[in-house]
Structure 1
Amino acid sequence: MSGTPGVSGFVAKLQSTMQLARDMEDQKKLYSYGGVLYPTLLCPEDHLRSLGSFEARQEDIMLVAYPKCGFNWMVGIIRKALARPKGMELESRMPPLIEFFGPELLQVVNESPSPRFLGTHLHPDNIPPSFDTRKTKILVIFRNPKDTLVSFYHFFNNNPVFPSGTSWDNFFSDFMAGDVPWGSYFDHALAWEKRMADPNVMIVTYEEIKQDLSQGVHQICRFFGLDRTNAEIQKISEESTFSAMKQNSQQSHGVMGNVVFRKGEVGDWKTHFTPEQSRIMDEAFSKRLEGTRIGAKLNYQLHCQ
């Protein structure tokens, strides 16, 4: 298994980026591209422009998530599933986000053998079209919007690549308006609603994977055509609990470990939302996602009321 290429160079670059972020003025840390905000240092405009010509392969393993919906957790699960047959330990520090790569690293990716493990936070309309034309298998993970907002808020305030000192009330308003990095949660969800019946797309939720991790691992392996024994699936599941990944986060994500893996709880929104904020989110969900297939899959009534 090839994993994701260029790891050592990327880790060094990431550490350098964190230092640059600490010295950067807050108002320069985000910029707008195509009407969506992005972190300047992680995915500058030349990164996004270069993605238009990216050539996907049918054999690629593609993971998509709106920010803080469980992306890094799922990265760990998939890497363990890829490594398991040979007892390999794939490098886990490098997030396979294609918008982070840039032209130079994309060239390395283009020359890498299959299967390549790739991922993105991009809105479906901004993902390179070759993933669709090549019929690449795409796993999408979503999380209930209230817990997503809480996790995003803490990640935003504890990551130096984003502006510092944002209050909860201000971040709540920005999230509801879609004025946060990678855009509107609801726009992302509605775009994937259109592909719910696509056989090359599998949508899972953070909550269902957390409720039955071994079943989730089994479904993911089957979707990607990874033939794993029941014993292998059980072992992957034991190593992929949120607590196990958080405990290993310093090795897997360095100084960002505790930022990437914070609580991993379902229902943490109840310690943050005011009754009025809960009502506003309920109304937004009702207006935009109630009655949709992805809305039903999110099981909003159970997790958010």
Structure 2
Amino acid sequence: MSRNRERVIEIIENVFSENEKTSPEDLLFSYDDILYPAVLSSPETLEALKSFETRSTDVILAGYPKTGTNWLEQMVREMESTDAKYTEEEMKERINAEKELQMFPRLEFGDPGVFERMKKLPSRRIILTHLPPHLLPPSLLQGKAKILLLVRNPKDTAVSYYHFYNNMPVLPSFATWDEYFAAFMNGKLTWGSYFDHLMEWNRHIDHERMVIISYEELKENPVLGMKKIAAFFGFSLNEEEFSRIAKKTSFQAMKEKSKETHGVVGSWRDLFSEVQNEEMDQKFEECIGGTILATKIKYDLYCKT
């Protein structure tokens, strides 16, 4: 289990030990017409985020929820620490620094003071976010930090997010898949619309400090995917190290957490009705069809029956 995931579990346990009877209407808040989990963030935190200053050494991992960002984070952290050749003591110091400064697993999580505390973290900072570009701090897109955007086909993303929603106590659950599907298609979920998210990122497709990788290509060939990531961030690893990390972060290695972290490509076929299938095909084509991101996602390969 990654230390970021451990932090999420710790936060959730603390919140619910203090208030076990949180009502469904209090679980979420709206900021800029997008929903967020109230126990993990706040409007004040998202306002404070605007002043966050990135560094040229920052490693930014961006992606819509359930596109594989937890898995990607595990890979990148393994590559970064291997490249940096931290001693065991140095690694402990970095982990302890995150704990002492009360770091959170996503840029948009935590109290408003978290961004001031982040200044004390040593470089290279690995920073994850589910936010769309317009809610990210200006320094992120205007500065020199490198951004790795992770994308995943919408049908598998929707199914994975459905299971996540109904298993996460900080989010209101859905009684049926049909009810959830309508919310997904209308962007009435935390972090908003999948389609709006990709449409907005596509406007930054030519950003000189950004590269795109898909969940599916990482699944198909993890070593090749990691080599692409390493080249982008300037990590220097040998073949043996890439192979070791691929095995350490594989489906089998994650055991009971693997399905949640990795997911199965094509699992959408178990839940989508014929009408829902056609509805999403049309929506994807209207919103993203013909774009570079659409090509990257390989919709026809992964989302057609």
What is the TM-score of this pair, normalised by structure 1?
0.88
Aligned to 2:270: 271
Aligned to 2:251: 242
Q: What one-letter code is carried by the residue in structure 2 that aligns with 1:304?
A: C
Aligned to 1:31: 29
1:76 pairs with one of 49, 74, 77: 74
**Conservation of the 8 A alpha-carbon contact between 2:148 and 2:211:** yes
User: Residues of 2 paired with 1:21 and 1:43: CA distance?
Assistant: 16
**Conservation of the 8 A alpha-carbon contact between 2:159 and 2:271:** yes
2:238 pairs with one of 219, 229, 232: 229
**Conservation of the 8 A alpha-carbon contact between 1:143 and 1:298:** yes
User: Residues of 1 paired with 2:107 and 2:227: CA distance?
Assistant: 26
Long gaps (5+) in structure 1: 250-256
2:202 is aligned with 1:193: yes
**Conservation of the 8 A alpha-carbon contact between 2:265 and 2:302:** yes
Q: What one-letter code is carried by the residue in structure 2 that aligns with 1:195?
A: H
- Amino-acid identity (%): 35
Cα offset, 1:135, TM superposition? 1.9
Q: What one-letter code is carried by the residue in structure 2 that aligns with 1:154?
A: H
Aligned to 1:293: 292
Deviates more, 1:195-204 or 1:289-298: 195-204
Instruction: Tell me the matched-pair count.
Output: 292
**Conservation of the 8 A alpha-carbon contact between 1:65 and 1:140:** yes
Deviates more, 1:289-298 or 1:8-17: 8-17
Cα offset, 1:95, TM superposition? 5.7
**Conservation of the 8 A alpha-carbon contact between 1:63 and 1:140:** yes
Instruction: Classify 1:157/1:12 alpha carbon distance in 2 versus 1 (closer, same or farther; 3 Å).
Output: closer
Equivalent positions of 1:1-305 (< 5 A) are: 12-19=10-17, 22-84=20-82, 85-86=85-86, 96-247=105-256, 249=257, 260-261=260-261, 264-305=263-304
Cα offset, 1:64, TM superposition? 0.5
User: Residues of 2 paired with 1:20 and 1:38: CA distance?
Assistant: 20
Q: What one-letter code is carried by the residue in structure 2 that aligns with 1:79?
A: R
**Conservation of the 8 A alpha-carbon contact between 1:4 and 1:118:** no
Cα offset, 1:223, TM superposition? 0.7
Secondary structure of 1:148's aligned partner: helix
What is the TM-score of this pair, normalised by structure 2?
0.88
User: Residues of 2 paired with 1:125 and 1:195: CA distance?
Assistant: 11
Instruction: Classify 1:21/1:174 alpha carbon distance in 2 versus 1 (closer, same or farther; 3 Å).
Output: farther
Q: What one-letter code is carried by the residue in structure 1 that aligns with 2:121?
A: S
User: Residues of 2 paired with 1:82 and 1:22: CA distance?
Assistant: 39
User: Residues of 2 paired with 1:21 and 1:242: CA distance?
Assistant: 35
User: Residues of 1 paired with 2:265 and 2:44: CA distance?
Assistant: 37
Over aligned residues, Cα RMSD in angstroms? 2.5
User: Residues of 1 paired with 2:148 and 2:215: CA distance?
Assistant: 12
User: Residues of 2 paired with 1:68 and 1:50: CA distance?
Assistant: 25
Cα offset, 1:9, TM superposition? 7.8
Aligned to 1:254: none
User: Residues of 2 paired with 1:270 and 1:30: CA distance?
Assistant: 30
Instruction: Classify 1:13/1:86 alpha carbon distance in 2 versus 1 (closer, same or farther; 3 Å).
Output: same
User: Residues of 1 paired with 2:7 and 2:162: CA distance?
Assistant: 29
Deviates more, 1:134-143 or 1:237-246: 237-246
Deviates more, 1:206-215 or 1:220-229: 220-229
Instruction: Classify 1:123/1:20 alpha carbon distance in 2 versus 1 (closer, same or farther; 3 Å).
Output: farther
**Conservation of the 8 A alpha-carbon contact between 2:8 and 2:105:** no
Cα offset, 1:20, TM superposition? 5.0
User: Residues of 1 paired with 2:78 and 2:284: CA distance?
Assistant: 34
Q: What one-letter code is carried by the residue in structure 2 that aligns with 1:245?
A: M
Cα offset, 1:243, TM superposition? 3.1
Cα offset, 1:199, TM superposition? 2.3
Long gaps (5+) in structure 2: none
Instruction: Classify 1:287/1:70 alpha carbon distance in 2 versus 1 (closer, same or farther; 3 Å).
Output: same
**Conservation of the 8 A alpha-carbon contact between 1:31 and 1:39:** yes
Instruction: Classify 1:102/1:188 alpha carbon distance in 2 versus 1 (closer, same or farther; 3 Å).
Output: same
